[in-house]
Every structure is written in structure tokens, then in C-alpha cells.
Chains A and B, each alone.
Chain A
């Protein structure tokens, strides 16, 4: 676009212009070209000796010329700020002062790593007639660059007599640089046509990084970087699970199922709400009763004195035969010497017309046949429907000492002669309670209740 004000001056794309005599515009100010790509030109005006034979060393470029988007770092690193395809062109002035030829090798190194296939071998002629050998070496590389990459040019020689030589101005030539480097952008992302904006950032080379900032997943774009933040989850922060928390979750108890991984109490689940009352610790004398001062806790048997061997009901029977109404087996070895068996039987009948009789026997079988009589109750006449039949038997180690068994009387408390009945304690013995009615019906005498106590 051109702007004219009638004065003949024009504000054109190259600055302030004026039409020349040939009718073409001439730039008279502001004629600097607007950069349309990235480029660099450096040279070196100092002789670069070879530190050692056959050891690669970086070519140095210490004199800047023009640059845009490419920089020289530490005199050796050609550093690209922008992605693109670049042409790298160099020329090196070698000199050989030895009287024999020597080889030099030049190659490319990218980001500190030698580039395969980039080497070039050059023969530098020997000094001859007192004139050093000279050769200028030049070629180019086409580079596929990502912003941030850097390249170096490395060289080595078979002798330190070879130098990358700077020649001062002579007559007539001007000085000769030891090294010249030109880098120009070829294609790809040209200046001004690359990335224009990403999440508000306009740099054409941008980076992505990670972080944990914030209380939820977020992206922070600042400068040339887009930071993706995934914070660690907590009570107040939504985010990634930490390794520690993952381990905690992974170690959690699986679902609880009564009877599977939860015990039950008496078949009832202990899951759900509510309280389960448990017995407090049991302490004898505190919440456990004692017997004669002895704790009920622990194993084994506590012999009370007296103790009840049986408390049972007999059967009321009709008939005039002497019949078993009740019986109880005294297990072998129950009695020991000086024990006393106290027997109380409550005799009843629901009807009576004649006298009925009740007896106690002892036998080694539960049968009256061959049984030994050890007590006879008082005769129960027609009008007597209830009577207590009470006997005490002392065991002296051989016999049961009993009141005269044939003498019918309700108890042996105040009277009686003593009768000894042999008793073998080492076998089972049966106490047999018999009844006999005077007539067939309706008399029905029975040992309604029999209690056998053992006294130590």
C-alpha cells in the first residue's frame, strides 16, 4: 500500500520513498528489510589451532554478522529458537606448514551427538618451496530443526601443523576469515506463519509440562509453557490418588458378610446397629458365686455336701403285687466309706379302700427278684392318701447300716434297731422303690417324688 500527499513523497512498504528520474521509487529512509525468515551469519577472524592430532574440536565463530531467530552460544553452538528446515553453509580456510600432506575431517554434531554420515575428508597440501599449503573447504547441510536444537561443527586433523587460518588484509586482498558460517531458513514454519496462539500464548515454540498445583485438574499457560496440573487428591482437593492412598484403599477390608468373613454369635449376625451386651470379666466372689468358699470357675467337679443324686417322680400303680414304682441306679464307686444316703419319698394315692404298703430295696439289677429289703414305710390305711417315707443309710465301707427294714414306719429318726446290709460300692446298685396295694382297685399307691441325697 502506498500513501501520497501530493508532495511527491511516498510512504511505501520499504519506508519513505521518492520517485526517481527513471520513474521508479527510491528508498530514502527506513529501508531495512523486514525479516521474512530466520538466519544467521557468523565468521571467525582468529586462527584456530588444532589442540591435538586426530582429536575432534569445535569450530569457533566469534564474530557476528547478522542473525534473526538463530543464535551462537559459547562461540560454537548454533542454537535455533524456531522449528523449521534450515540450510547450513560453511567455509573453512585451512593451512598446512608441514612438508607433507595432511587430512582434515569436518562433521556435524547435533545436541551433543555426532551426526552419522556428516563427515567430509579433505587433503591439505604440504608446504612447498617455503609456501604453506592452503585449501578452503566448504559445503552445506540441510537441517530439520526443532526449536531449541543446537548444532556444532567439529573438525580434526592428522597433524597439529594444520590450522584453520585467519589471514589479515594483504595487498590487494582484504583479510580472510578462518571460518564463515551461514544458516538460512528454507521452509516449514516461517517467521510470522507459525503458531500464532495456544491457550492465549503466542510464542511459536511452546512447551507442555506437568504439575500438581490447584484443587482440581487445571492447565496454567504462562510464558511459553502450558502446565497440566493434576493435584493429589485429598479431602479438599479433587485429583490423582497418591501411591500411599492407593495402597491404603487396596488393603481395605472386603465387603463384610455375616457368616463369611464376619463371625456370628449364636447364629446371629453382629452386623447392623445396636449394642451387644457382653458379660463382664468373671471374678469368683464378685460376679461368680462360690460354694463353701470355693470358686465355681475352672475345670473339674465341685462336690457339694450334701449333693442330690436324684430327684425324680415315681409311678402310681394299681394291683396287689409288690411292684416297682421308681428306681435309681447308684453308679459304681459313688459311695465311699462314711457316706450317708438320705432318701425321702413322698407317697401318695388318689383313692384307697384298704391298706397299702411301700418299700425300698437294693439290688444289683433293676429288679425286685433277689432284691434286699432296706426299708418299709408305715402302713397306709384306706384313709391315708399321703405319707413321707424317710430313711438314712450309713455306709461303713462294707455294709449299709439301716433301720430294721421289716418294721414299717414312716421315718427312722427316733427309733429302731440296726441292720447291716452288705453293699458292694464298686458295682452299680439300684435303689428300688416298690408299692403294693391291699386290693386291686381303686387303690393306686406310688412314690410320687423321690429325692436321694448323698452326704460326705
Chain B
């Protein structure tokens, strides 16, 4: 499982659980807060597989 990802030039470190909140949206707990990741983001597919 990946532990970091970058979006819009900001690197996020995953620090907690992933919560699925919709068909294409998840909340990912990171060092910069809970980030909404959706299927338009490259990291989405890696996170949803786990």
C-alpha cells in the first residue's frame, strides 16, 4: 500500500484509514488533514484497491 501521494504539488502522507463515502469518492486521512480523493485523481485507483 502506498503511504504518500502528491496532488497539485503537495505531498500528502497517509496517516490513517480510508473511508469510502461514495461511488467515486473516498476520504483519506493524511498529515494535512482528511483529503477527499475521487476517481479523477491518479492516486484514487491505488487507494481504492486496498
Query: A residues engaging B (CB < 8 A)?
Result: 320-322, 361, 364, 368-374, 405-406, 419-422, 436
Task: Output the nearest chain B residue to A402 by Cβ-Cβ distance.
Answer: B33
Chain B 1-46 interface residues, beta-carbon cutoff 8 Å to A: 7-8, 19, 21-25, 27, 29, 32-38, 40-41
A370 in contact with B8 given A320-B22, A406-B19 (CB within 8 Å): yes
Q: Would you call A369 and B21 a contact (CB within 8 A)? A: no
Q: A370's contact among B21, B22, B35, by CB below 8 Å, is which?
A: B35
A374 to B36, CA, bound (A): 11
What chain B residues lie within 8 Å of A405 (beta carbons)?
33-34
Question: Distance in Å from the Cβ of A156 to the closest Cβ of chain B?
Answer: 129
A-B contact count (CB 8 A): 53
> 6 shortest A-B CB distances, which residue pairs?
A373-B34, A421-B33, A372-B33, A371-B36, A370-B7, A322-B22
* 20 A-B pairs (CB sep. < 8 Å): A321-B25, A322-B36, A364-B8, A368-B38, A369-B36, A369-B37, A370-B8, A370-B35, A370-B41, A371-B36, A372-B34, A372-B35, A373-B35, A405-B34, A406-B19, A406-B27, A420-B33, A421-B32, A422-B32, A436-B22
Question: Distance in Å from the Cβ of A344 to the closest Cβ of chain B?
Answer: 21
Question: Distance in Å from the Cβ of B17 to the closest Cβ of chain A?
Answer: 9
Q: Would you call B33 and A370 a contact (CB within 8 A)? A: no
A421 to B41, CA, bound (A): 21
Query: B residues engaging A (CB < 8 A)?
Result: 7-8, 19, 21-25, 27, 29, 32-38, 40-41
Interface majority SS (helix, strand, loop, mixed), chain B: strand
Q: A373's contact among B22, B24, B27, B38, by CB below 8 Å, is which?
A: B27
Question: Distance in Å from the Cβ of A445 to the closest Cβ of chain B?
Answer: 14
A371 in contact with B35 given A364-B8, A406-B27 (CB within 8 Å): yes
Question: Distance in Å from the Cβ of A370 to the closest Cβ of chain B?
Answer: 5
Q: Would you call A406 and B36 a contact (CB within 8 A)? A: no
What chain A residues lie within 8 Å of B40 (beta carbons)?
369
Q: A322's contact among B25, B33, B34, B41, by CB below 8 Å, is which?
A: B25
Which one of A361, A369, A422 has the greatest number of beta carbons of chain B within 10 Å?
A369
What chain A residues lie within 8 Å of B37 (beta carbons)?
369-370
Which one of A361, A364, A371, A373 has the greatest number of beta carbons of chain B within 10 Å?
A373
What chain A residues lie within 8 Å of B29 (beta carbons)?
406
Task: Output the nearest chain A residue to B21 by Cβ-Cβ distance.
Answer: A322
Q: Would you call B34 and A406 a contact (CB within 8 A)? A: yes
Question: Distance in Å from the Cβ of A434 to the closest Cβ of chain B?
Answer: 9
Q: Would you call B33 and A419 a contact (CB within 8 A)? A: yes
Q: Would you call A374 and B33 a contact (CB within 8 A)? A: yes
Question: Distance in Å from the Cβ of A354 to the closest Cβ of chain B?
Answer: 14
Extra pairs beyond A368-B25, A372-B36 (10, CB < 8 Å): A321-B22, A321-B25, A370-B41, A372-B32, A372-B33, A372-B35, A373-B36, A405-B33, A406-B19, A406-B29
